[in-house]
C-alpha cells in the first residue's frame, strides 16, 4: 500500500503503540483486499458489545496511548446501573460491563450506546466515506443514505476512529456498488415487521451479494424504521452490507442504474406466501411466555409512540416482563410527549443503552419470549431462549394475556 508520511509514522510506532496496532489492522485489511491507499474519514460507528474480545481490543489501544481522532458513536452493551437492580448478574459480568464503559470513555468515544446511528446520532451524507460497523447500521448508511462503508468489524471501525483513515477498497468505489441479484417482489409489506421478515427471507439467498429490490406494487415510500428492519435482517440471515430499492434508495432511480448496466446473477421472486412461510419457519409455535422483548434494532421515537397507542388502557400480565430497548434520546422524547407515562402505566418498561444479547437477560432463559424481530430471536436462541416472532400489535396482545 502507498501510505502517506503521517500514516507511515503511525505504522512505525511514532504515534505510540496503540495507534500503531490500529494502523497495523487497517494495513492488513487494506492488503487483504488490494487497497492501494487509505482514505480519510470523518465518521465512524463502533459495534461495541461488552464482550471480552471487544473490550480487550479497546483496552489494548488505550493502554498503548491511543485516543480517537474521530470520536465514534457506539453500540449498546447494557444499562449497568439500571438493570442490575432488576436482574441477577455475576460479579464478573458487572465488572466487564463497567470496564467496557471505562475503556471506551478513555479512548474518547461518543457514548451513544445505540445501534441505530444512521437514524439520529451519526448521519453521514450522500457519497461520504465512513467506517461503520454494526451489521444493521452498515446497510442503512450504504443503501438508504448513499454513504460509503465497507462491512467493518467493531475492531476495524475503532482502528479507523483512532487513525482517521480506512483502507480504500470495496464499497468505497462507485463501481463496486452495483446490484448483483434481482429481487422481484409481488408481496406487499405493510409495516416494519413485514419488512424485517422480507429481509430475513432475502438474506438467506443473498449471502454477501448486493440485492436490488424491485416491487410490483408500492403504495408508499418505506419509513426509516422499515428500511432499518429490512437491512438488519438481510445482515442476520445473510451478510448483506449494501442493497438498492428501485425508485426509493438514492443510487437506484431505475433498475438499470441500480445494476450499473450489468446483468443480475439471478432473480429471486418473492410472493406473499413466502413471508408467511418465513415467519412459520423461524418462529416458535406459542404457549405461556415470560418475556416480551422489542427493540432489536433499537426502537425509535415513532415506534414508541405507536407502542403507547396500543398500550393505552391495557395492563401487562403479571407473569410477563415487557422490555423495550431504545435510545436515550427516544426515551427523552417519549417522556416529554407523554407516551412514556402511558407505556409505564401499562407495566411496560423502556431501557436505553442495552442490547438483547447481554448477560442481564439470562433470568428469562429457559422460558418462551415474544419479539417482533427475527434478529432478536436469532441471537437470543443461542443463549437458550426461544422466541415467537409476531408483529407489534400481536406482541402487545401476548403481553396482556401472558401467552400466545
Partner 1 sequence: MSAKTSFSCRSIVKGHVEGEAIVSREAMCFYLCDPETGEVIEKNHPLKGRSIAKKILVLQSGKGSSVVQVDGFYQLSVKGNLPAGIIVREIEPVLVSAAVVMETPMVDRLQADPFEVIVDGDWVEIDAETETVTVTKRGRDE
Closer to partner 1 at the Cβ: 129 or 339?
Answer: 129
Residue nearer to partner 1 on the CB measure, 20 or 342:
20
Per CB under 8 A, does 53 bind partner 1? yes
Residues 6+ apart with CB under 8 A from 328: 112, 113, 114, 352, 353
Cβ proximity to partner 1: between 138 and 342 the closer is: 138
| Closest C-alpha among 140, 129, 137, 133 to residue 159 | 133
Question: From the list 73, 150, 180, 326, which residue makes contact with partner 1 (rule: CB under 8 A)?
Answer: 150
- In the numeric block, the cell 471501525 is attached to 157
Q: Can you tell me which of 19, 25, 62, 70 binds partner 1, judged by CB under 8 A?
A: 25
Q: 95 Cβ partners below 8 Å, 6+ apart?
A: none
Among 151, 244, 317, 339, binds partner 1 (CB under 8 A): 151
Dihedral through CA 162, CA 168, CA 170, CA 175, nearest 10?
140
d(CA 56, CA 132): 20
**Interface with partner 1 includes 160 (CB under 8 A)?**
no
Instruction: Give least dist CB 64 to partner 1, A.
Output: 13
Binding flag, residue 325, partner 1 (CB under 8 A): no
63: contact with partner 1 by CB under 8 A: no
- Write out the binding residues for partner 1, residues 377-396 only, by CB under 8 A: none
Among 267, 171, 169, CA closest to 212: 267
Query: Which residue from 41, 47, 234, 360 is in contact with partner 1, where contact means CB under 8 A?
Result: 47
Per CB under 8 A, contacts with partner 1 among 232-271 are 239
Residue 34 neighbours by CB under 8 Å, 6+ apart: 169
Total count of residues recorded for the chain? 404
Q: What is the CA radius of gyration of the chain?
A: 21
Q: How far is the CB of 376 from partner 1 (least distance, A)?
A: 14
Positions that interact with partner 1 (CB under 8 A): 24-25, 28-29, 31-33, 47, 49, 51-54, 56-57, 60, 133, 135, 150-156, 239
Amino acid at each position: 500500500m502507498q501510505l502517506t508520511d503521517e500514516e507511515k509514522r503511525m505504522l512505525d510506532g511514532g504515534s505510540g503503540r496503540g495507534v500503531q496496532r490500529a494502523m497495523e489492522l487497517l494495513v492488513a485489511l487494506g492488503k487483504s483486499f488490494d487497497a492501494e491507499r487509505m482514505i480519510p474519514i470523518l465518521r465512524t460507528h463502533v459495534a461495541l458489545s461488552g464482550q471480552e474480545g471487544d473490550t480487550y481490543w479497546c483496552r489494548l489501544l488505550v493502554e498503548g496511548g491511543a485516543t480517537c481522532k474521530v470520536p465514534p458513536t457506539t453500540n449498546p452493551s447494557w444499562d449497568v446501573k439500571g438493570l442490575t437492580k432488576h436482574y441477577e448478574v455475576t460479579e464478573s459480568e458487572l465488572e466487564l460491563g463497567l470496564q467496557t464503559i471505562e475503556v471506551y470513555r478513555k479512548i474518547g468515544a461518543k457514548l451513544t450506546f445505540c445501534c441505530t446511528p444512521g437514524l439520529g446520532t451519526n448521519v453521514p451524507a450522500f457519497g461520504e466515506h465512513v467506517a461503520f460497523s454494526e451489521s444493521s447500521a452498515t446497510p442503512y448508511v450504504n443503501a438508504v443514505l448513499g454513504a460509503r462503508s465497507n462491512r467493518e468489524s467493531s475492531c476495524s471501525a475503532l482502528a479507523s476512529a483512532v487513525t482517521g483513515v480506512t483502507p480504500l477498497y470495496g464499497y468505497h468505489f462507485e463501481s463496486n456498488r452495483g446490484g448483483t441479484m434481482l429481487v422481484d417482489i409481488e408481496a406487499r409489506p405493510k409495516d416494519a415487521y413485514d419488512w424485517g421478515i422480507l429481509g430475513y427471507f432475502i438474506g438467506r439467498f443473498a449471502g454477501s451479494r448486493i440485492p436490488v429490490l424491485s416491487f410490483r406494487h408500492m403504495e408508499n415510500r418505506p419509513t426509516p424504521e422499515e428500511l432499518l428492519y429490512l437491512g438488519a435482517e438481510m445482515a442476520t440471515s445473510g451478510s448483506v452490507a449494501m442493497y438498492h430499492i428501485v425508485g426509493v434508495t438514492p443510487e437506484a432511480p431505475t433498475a438499470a442504474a441500480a445494476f450499473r448496466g450489468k446483468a443480475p446473477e439471478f432473480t429471486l421472486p418473492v410472493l406473499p406466501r413466502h413471508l408467511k412461510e418465513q415467519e412459520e419457519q423461524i418462529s416458535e409455535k406459542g404457549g405461556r411466555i415470560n418475556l416480551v422483548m422489542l427493540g432489536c434494532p433499537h426502537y425509535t421515537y415513532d415506534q414508541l409512540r405507536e407502542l403507547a397507542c396500543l398500550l393505552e388502557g391495557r395492563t401487562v400480565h403479571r407473569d410477563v416482563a415487557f422490555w423495550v430497548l431504545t435510545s436515550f434520546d427516544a426515551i427523552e422524547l417519549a417522556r416529554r410527549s407523554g407516551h412514556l407515562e402511558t407505556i409505564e402505566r401499562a407495566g411496560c418498561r423502556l431501557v436505553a443503552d442495552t442490547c438483547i444479547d447481554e448477560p442481564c437477560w439470562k433470568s428469562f432463559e429457559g422460558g418462551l419470549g415474544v419479539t417482533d424481530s427475527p434478529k432478536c430471536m436469532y441471537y437470543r436462541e443461542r443463549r437458550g431462549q426461544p422466541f415467537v416472532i409476531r408483529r407489534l400489535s400481536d406482541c402487545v396482545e401476548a403481553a396482556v394475556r401472558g401467552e400466545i
